[in-house]
Structure 1
Amino acid sequence: MSETRDRTTSHRKPGNVARSATAVALALAVVAGGAYLAELGPFAADASAAEPDPAAVAEARAFLADWAGGRMPSAGGRTTDPGKAQEVLRNFTAGLSIDKPNLAAAKATVSENGTVSVPFTAKMPVTDLGTWTYDSKLPLRKQQDGTWKVHWTPAVVHPKLSSTEKFRLEREDTERPEITDRGGAALSGGKHPSLAPVLNQIAGAAGAGPRGAIQLVDRATGEVKGTEATFGKKPDRPTDQPIRTTLDSTWQSAAEKALTSEAKGKDAALVALRIDNGEILAVGNSPSSGFNRAVSGTYAPGSTWKVVTTSALTLKNAVKPNDIVDCPKYLTVGKQFHNVETGEHRNATFLQDFTESCNTAFISLRDKLGDRELGDVARKYFGIGQEWHIGIPSFDGSVPAPRDQTEKAASMIGQGRVLANPLLMASVAATAASGTFHQPTITGGSKDTTTTSKLPQDVVTQLRAMMRATVTDGTAKVLDGLPGGVGAKTGTAEVTEEDPDSNNGWIVATRGNVAVACVVEKGKTGGASAGPVVRSLLSAVPDDPS
């Protein structure tokens, strides 16, 4: 799964070119005449109601896919002027430092002359600055050989791009202030490579990050005609004043070392935070450059989500740890669900279902919860889906109401449309351990607009016991033997049904006043992939931060 939020700037669509009154009258006459011949009335054959040729829509989508994928020769070949189109597309993306455009087509329409128009939204990530978002449209015309082509003009790329005007990227030189950890020690991408994208985000949030603008200029004179997008903001503090974070250099170094030594080269992410106040101690990303997947990633959390599901069931007194909840190999709810490696535990207790991470047992309890109840519990007690202000951009989770019983079954085990990331799941573990949600923060002093309730003490006591048993007797035995009474929950999140090797491995853990969550992409199982990462981290840092 993957994933992101960026600043956007919206723009108005260009106005339609006015047609002459004669042309309009002629078109109406032709339409009306055809309608009368068909005995359908004068307005029944409205051209705007015509369905666009699917071949035209497919060609438009193929053009957008080629453009987004950087296949400029192929994209140009889908237009009426291949050479010019290829040149303009390449100059536009390269000249504005655009990396991997996201181009989404909307509903196509047909004009009176048969031209198919496909509107699209362009999200253009400008390197180190942000995302420029605007709307445009593709005009497609049928050629003599019966094929459809994008009728090429510069306005295909952007409504204001023309033979007389172009865009220019202006960057503003900024000096980033020193960023320190919680104790005042300087942080840098050189010393902590995994923090490189995080430090840029921290500086940007403080108004000390990169700034720039995309300007519309006259091709001949260079005169600025307007500003289409701006990035960054003016500093809200003196540039010589350090920015202090909640990060801990010791924890950060240990997290990076753990990812390097134990993730085995796979994409992975980790977050460690304090249970008592939500302060983030470490943010690890592998690879260390680029996207901050630990905080902004969107993943199915897999069976680590059973911490939330268990909370929802326990709040309703729907099941107790010693209740028998059978764990068969398979259970069909619209589709066949199974356990990892199709294991089974007949006559298992609910506690065993938790410690062995039995999917079928949890799914069998779905009728104990209302369709919206799991999402409501996640929001009310864990803050999931509310807007978090942690000091940098973050994805704060999504638990939509299921659209059918199959999706409800999937949501019970952290699949379907349930989405999270290591930041969110570390917070889930922290809330389970303390009973109280604390909005995570990386810079301190961030405003908190969330509204949550405290978990009842009996629910907290049960969650702690079940997570501890998962370490001593269950799927998180990789953490057994560590001091501090570690509790944990593993997870295996299915990415595709066809390829088990693509599964993401998860683990959440608590020890003392620290909660940790780690995901390893294509890690197959949480205990085997994410478990060793967290064991390495907790082994390297035996003491909680003060």
Structure 2
Amino acid sequence: MTHTSVRGRNRRTPLKAVTAAAVILAVVAGGAYAAKLGPFDRGSDALDPAAGTQARAFLADWSAGRYDGAAARTTNPTRAQDVLRSFTSGLDIDKPRLAAGAAEREDDGTVRVPYTAKMPVKGLGTWTYTSRVPLREENGIWKVDWALELVHPHLSDKAKFRLEREDTSPPEVADRNGKSLVGKEYPSLQPLLARMAGADGAPRGAIRLVDRVTGEIGGTEATFGQRADKDGKAGESATKTTLDAGWQSAADRALDAESGGRNASLVALRIDNGEILAMANTPATGFNRAASGTYAPGSTWKIVTSTALLLKNAVTPDTVVDCPKYLTVGKEFHNVETSEFHGATFRKDFMESCNTAFISLRGKLGDGETGEVARTYFGVGQEWHVGIPSYDGSVPVPKDETEKAAAMIGQGRIQANPLIMASVTATAASGRFHQPTILPGTEDKTSTTALPQSVVAQLKSMMRATVTEGTARVLADLPGDIGAKTGTAEVSEDEPNNGWLVARRGNVAVACVVEQGVTGGGSAGPILHHLLSAVPDDPS
């Protein structure tokens, strides 16, 4: 999208100015231009065909860069040539397109030919305006009656145009406390700054009308790249986000230190309102996997599956649900490292992430029931307005029993990303879905229902047990009442599994995925441990 402003100078490197001089010229006589003037509409020249032909010849020469030819058709070719050349080349205009209309006669006998100018400014866009070519007859020959306003109506002996190109520095973006997020401390954010600032990444600039003596700006004729106010000045404040500079820096450092060179991403957000505190990717190539990635969430999805089962009173944490090594439902499913827990309770199945136990409960839920719970209580699959592009999840109805079995453990066709799973974790911790946002004041079109507090208490208890006794023990030595869920998601038979870990502490929920990380505790665990160790306090 092309905006119509240029950022203020105090926020960017000074603008490069290119001045197009315009001088009052007198025109010498020139011969008539040959017929068939290419793209120029001959229009209706019934008033005097020779006048219209001369005007079109002048515009054709100017458009083609034949400044001497165009100037020769005016009443002062020397000065006309100078101004046409300086106006066109000085404003970096490449191949003007000048379309003439029908000739009009004034009361004083002057003939004027209106034209539309489309001036492509190199690297910025097209400046479009209208003007008129005046002509008068001298000794039976029509000549262009030179005046500055025929080049542009606002050009005069007091005002000229200046092209300003804005520096390509990253747009200013600030965290929730006003601290700048531009810099090497936040590598993951640098490809996202333009998105968060509402810019499209296109070059920016403007054509200003300035006083010939003082250089003072009198107006803005055209802007490229972003919106300007009537004075051509951009807003003075940086775009403010919900991000927290401390959390963001810690997230980037955690990925750098613990990802082992693998693709990984994480999101941290506030539980009470969904505001995103950190969003990080490694490598920081520009594709925001944290918010736009599409991954099977693996066993982290068991938070949603458990919610569906608990809502129906199909199980309680103390219900015995056996956990065998294998279970066949169209194909053989097994647990990580083919573990088994005979006589296990549902709490044990959750904290040890037992696939076979969860799959054995598939008959307790209707085919589309988990998807409905995900949408109704967790907002997954609804339209989110985060403030940047995001993928908001998909939980399709299983096509058969095998796919339903896979969906119980976050496989099959279920797709999510760290943003979604951080939000799922936050909802499980508070009982209320809050649309994640990275820009204050974003629109919220979601509609969800609060979870019963009895279900929330059960989920929090099982997630806490996962840290103290289960697969998320990697976080057990950290201070605070931390709850978590690990996940291992199959990608293909030929690739290692993706590793997941989600956690909540205080008022923050976090989620991390490591591509080809094999297990969640082994790959995503060290990353979140590093992050939570660096930010012991909840954000304000």
What do the CA deviations read for 1:136-164 (whole angstroms, capped 9, x no partner)?
A: xxxxxxxxxxxxxxxxxxxxxxxxxxxxx
**CA distance, structure 2, for counterparts of residue 235 and residue 191 of structure 1:** 30
Residue in 2 that maps onto 1:183: 177
**CA distance, structure 1, for counterparts of residue 332 and residue 366 of structure 2:** 22
Matched, 1:244 2:248: no
Matched, 1:474 2:470: yes
Residue in 2 that maps onto 1:514: 508
Change (3 A) 1:474 1:185: same
Residue in 1 that maps onto 2:523: 529
Unaligned runs of 5+ in 1: 1-5, 8-167, 213-230
**CA distance, structure 2, for counterparts of residue 235 and residue 244 of structure 1:** 19
Matches within 5 A, 1:148-159: none
Matched, 1:390 2:386: yes
Q: CA deviation at 1:482?
A: 1.0
Unaligned runs of 5+ in 2: 3-120, 126-164, 205-223
What do the CA deviations read for 1:344-390 (whole angstroms, capped 9, x no partner)?
A: 11111110000000001000000100001000000000000000001
Residue in 1 that maps onto 2:395: 399
Contact 1:331 1:360 in 2 (8 A): yes
Aligned pairs, number: 359
Q: CA deviation at 1:194?
A: 1.1
Change (3 A) 1:351 1:193: same
Change (3 A) 1:170 1:370: farther
Contact 1:207 1:233 in 2 (8 A): yes
Residue identity opposite 1:355 in structure 2: M
What secondary structure does 1:193 align onto? coil
What secondary structure does 2:501 align onto? strand
Residue in 2 that maps onto 1:427: 423
Matches within 5 A, 1:335-484: 335-484=331-480
**CA distance, structure 2, for counterparts of residue 316 and residue 189 of structure 1:** 50
Contact 1:208 1:234 in 2 (8 A): no
**CA distance, structure 1, for counterparts of residue 465 and residue 477 of structure 2:** 13
What do the CA deviations read for 1:463-503 (whole angstroms, capped 9, x no partner)?
A: 0000000000000000002111100000000001344xx20
Matched, 1:485 2:481: yes
**CA distance, structure 2, for counterparts of residue 315 and residue 325 of structure 1:** 17
Q: CA deviation at 1:316?
A: 0.3
Residue in 1 that maps onto 2:83: none
What do the CA deviations read for 1:241-285 (whole angstroms, capped 9, x no partner)?
A: 310001101001111111011111110000000000000000110
Q: More deviation in 536-545 or 173-182?
A: 173-182
The structure with the largest helix share of the pair is 1
What do the CA deviations read for 1:432-463 (whole angstroms, capped 9, x no partner)?
A: 00000000000110000000000000000000
Residue in 2 that maps onto 1:329: 325
Q: CA deviation at 1:207?
A: 3.9
Contact 2:266 2:513 in 1 (8 A): yes
Q: CA deviation at 1:235?
A: 7.0
**CA distance, structure 2, for counterparts of residue 418 and residue 235 of structure 1:** 44
**CA distance, structure 1, for counterparts of residue 122 and residue 482 of structure 2:** 51
Change (3 A) 1:364 1:444: same
**CA distance, structure 1, for counterparts of residue 333 and residue 203 of structure 2:** 49
What do the CA deviations read for 1:269-318 (whole angstroms, capped 9, x no partner)?
A: 00000000000000110002221100100000000000000000000000
Residue in 2 that maps onto 1:202: 196
Matched, 1:269 2:265: yes
**CA distance, structure 1, for counterparts of residue 122 and residue 318 of structure 2:** 64
**CA distance, structure 1, for counterparts of residue 123 and residue 370 of structure 2:** 47
**CA distance, structure 2, for counterparts of residue 333 and residue 477 of structure 1:** 31
Residue in 2 that maps onto 1:304: 300
Match of 1:260 among 252, 256, 260: 256
What secondary structure does 1:194 align onto? coil
Contact 1:208 1:235 in 2 (8 A): no
Matched, 1:193 2:170: no
Matches within 5 A, 1:84-103: none
Residue identity opposite 1:508 in structure 2: V
What do the CA deviations read for 1:482-533 (whole angstroms, capped 9, x no partner)?
A: 111100000000001344xx20000000000000000000000000000110
Match of 1:504 among 498, 502, 518: 498
* TM-score between both structures, scaled by the size of structure 1: 0.63
**CA distance, structure 2, for counterparts of residue 460 and residue 283 of structure 1:** 26
Contact 1:391 1:446 in 2 (8 A): yes
Contact 1:427 1:440 in 2 (8 A): yes
* TM-score between both structures, scaled by the size of structure 2: 0.64
What secondary structure does 1:496 align onto? coil
Change (3 A) 1:337 1:234: farther
What do the CA deviations read for 1:63-114 (whole angstroms, capped 9, x no partner)?
A: xxxxxxxxxxxxxxxxxxxxxxxxxxxxxxxxxxxxxxxxxxxxxxxxxxxx
Change (3 A) 1:232 1:456: farther
Q: CA deviation at 1:233?
A: 6.8
Residue identity opposite 1:354 in structure 2: F
Contact 1:251 1:541 in 2 (8 A): yes
Residue identity opposite 2:182 in structure 1: S
Matches within 5 A, 1:31-70: none
Considering only aligned residues, what root-mean-square deviation do their CA atoms show, in Å?
Answer: 2.2
What do the CA deviations read for 1:191-222 (whole angstroms, capped 9, x no partner)?
A: 3111112213212xx2464269xxxxxxxxxx
Change (3 A) 1:286 1:444: same
Change (3 A) 1:266 1:420: same
Contact 2:171 2:193 in 1 (8 A): no
Change (3 A) 1:341 1:233: farther
Residue in 2 that maps onto 1:137: none
What secondary structure does 2:188 align onto? helix
Residue identity opposite 2:392 in structure 1: D
Change (3 A) 1:496 1:208: closer
What do the CA deviations read for 1:13-58 (whole angstroms, capped 9, x no partner)?
A: xxxxxxxxxxxxxxxxxxxxxxxxxxxxxxxxxxxxxxxxxxxxxx
Contact 1:388 1:449 in 2 (8 A): yes
